[in-house]
Amino acid sequence: MTNDPPTRTELLRRACELVPLIQKFAGWSEENRRVHDDVIDAMTDAGLFRMRTPARFGGYECDTRTLADVATELARGDGSAAWVASVYWIPTWIASLFPPDVQAEVFANPDARICGTLSPTAMAAPAPGGVVVNGKWGFITGARHSQWQEIIAVRMEPDREPEPIVALVPMSELRIVDDWQTSGLRGTGSVSTIAQDVFVPQERILPLGAAMQGRTGGAAGAEGAIYRAPLLPVASASSAGTALGMAKAAAATFLERIEGRGITYTDYASQQAAPLTHLQVADAAMKIDEAEFHVHRLTSTVDLKAAGAHAWTLEERVRARADMGAAVRLARDAVDVLAEASGGSSIFAEVPIQRIRRDIQALSLHALMHPDTNAELYGRILCGQQPNTQYV
């Protein structure tokens, strides 16, 4: 028996073994607009929700390359299930920046699932010992299976500038609004949540600016190497693997269907023999390879700088977002090529590529994942301009 955390190889093996189960329930998850309980339980048993939990609470403190690789495997089964896991990893990392007593409360269950957001769509009024929060947050992925939510609110006090804060709130104190009726990523269950006069004690509050830097002003937070990076590069590296996995899933399902499948109204008895198919498959494969390059460059940058406790330049921080955006664009384009080549029969619900296409389109529209937004920001910095966002 050993208390050592599982290796990357072991976690990838566990994720790979979950793919058939995830595929089995992918249709159910889409129809019911949340990941199936059996899938959540299986990912819990595999330890996948411990990957960003501090080691002293039984977590694995995995590097971001491991996160990306595991997400890629999960997305081969279902993009929604992979996205839920990816999103949980980010608020779990944020929770690890809080003082030890708060971490002990949150990670009393080392498999704690924490949903969250980076949008400051609530207000926090000062109250004795903390703040009272009122507001609503949208796109809260995995809320129904979470025990905690990481929220962002703007603290308003007399004679002080408004200050954005990040706080941790038990899900039992929030109201879920069942408004997740979407064309893609339906299985993520990314509903809205509402706080109505919710009291948050001061110890469960951090300035958002400090959390964005991956520090909390002292030794209060966790001390592992994975916490020595700014939030946005960490979030980018945590998310990019899902897009790559969706593209790989599209390639696999396409290649499974072409054997013995003809091209209607042509002389091709097998799509496998058509030169057009060869060009399409090669085009998609190269795009997937390029997406994988950006994912791996992003995770390598985050992990190497964190391990050496190196400072980040502005250009490096923005390039992290650019790498994520490039990976999403290339993965989406690869899926589009394969979906266009899949024929009219691919529109049936039992053919996975139509769901993959809708899911990756939805992913690419996420405000922090959007390829054009991230490319424009990177180009802006390369041209000597200042960023027009605080999310770097």
Chain segment 280-308, per-residue pLDDT in tens: 999 999 999 999 999 999 999 999 999 99
Mean pLDDT over the full length of the chain: 95
The pTM is what? Answer: 0.95
- Asked if residue 360 and residue 232 are part of one domain, the reply reads yes
**Is the pLDDT score of 355 beyond 80?**
yes
Number of domains the chain is built from: 3
Mean predicted confidence (pLDDT) in 365-385: 97
Domain at 49, CATH number: 1.10.540.10
pLDDT for the residue numbered 219? 43
Nearest to 216 by CA among 95, 344, 386: 95
Domain extent, residue 353, equals 228-382
**Is the pLDDT score of 242 beyond 70?**
yes
End of a domain among 89, 106, 123?
Answer: 106
Q: What token pair was written down for 54? A: 């501090």
- Asked if residue 81 and residue 170 are part of one domain, the reply reads no
Chain segment 313-336, per-residue pLDDT in tens: 999 999 999 999 999 999 999 999
- Asked if residue 122 and residue 102 are part of one domain, the reply reads no
Is residue 277 within 8 Å of 299, Cβ to Cβ? no
- Asked if residue 165 and residue 25 are part of one domain, the reply reads no
- Asked if residue 90 and residue 48 are part of one domain, the reply reads yes
Instruction: Tell me if 215 is assigned to some domain.
Output: no
- Asked if residue 38 and residue 17 are part of one domain, the reply reads yes
Percent share of the chain, pLDDT over 70: 97
Distance CA 176, CA 310 (A): 40
Mean predicted confidence (pLDDT) in 131-160: 96
pLDDT for the residue numbered 210? 84
> Coil, strand, or helix at residue 265?
coil
- Asked if residue 118 and residue 87 are part of one domain, the reply reads no
Domain at 327, CATH number: 1.20.140.10
Mean predicted confidence (pLDDT) in 140-149: 98
Instruction: Tell me if 212 is assigned to some domain.
Output: no
End of a domain among 66, 83, 106?
Answer: 106
- Asked if residue 122 and residue 100 are part of one domain, the reply reads no
Nearest to 84 by CA among 240, 190, 211, 196: 190
> Coil, strand, or helix at residue 196?
strand
End of a domain among 106, 127, 150?
Answer: 106
pLDDT for the residue numbered 159? 86
Q: Report residue 259's pLDDT band, with 50, 70 and 90 as the boundaries.
A: confident
pLDDT for the residue numbered 221? 56
Domain at 137, CATH number: 2.40.110.10
Instruction: Tell me if 220 is assigned to some domain.
Output: no
- Asked if residue 373 and residue 317 are part of one domain, the reply reads yes
**Is the pLDDT score of 390 beyond 80?**
yes
CA angle 332, 138, 323 (to 5 degrees): 35
Give backbone dihedrals phi and psi of 238, rounded to 5 degrees, phi first: -70, -25
Q: Report residue 220's pLDDT band, with 50, 70 and 90 as the boundaries.
A: low
- Asked if residue 160 and residue 33 are part of one domain, the reply reads no
Chain segment 80-136, per-residue pLDDT in tens: 999 999 999 999 999 999 999 999 999 999 999 999 999 999 999 999 999 999 999
pLDDT for the residue numbered 215? 60
- Asked if residue 129 and residue 102 are part of one domain, the reply reads no
- Asked if residue 247 and residue 144 are part of one domain, the reply reads no
Mean predicted confidence (pLDDT) in 18-38: 98
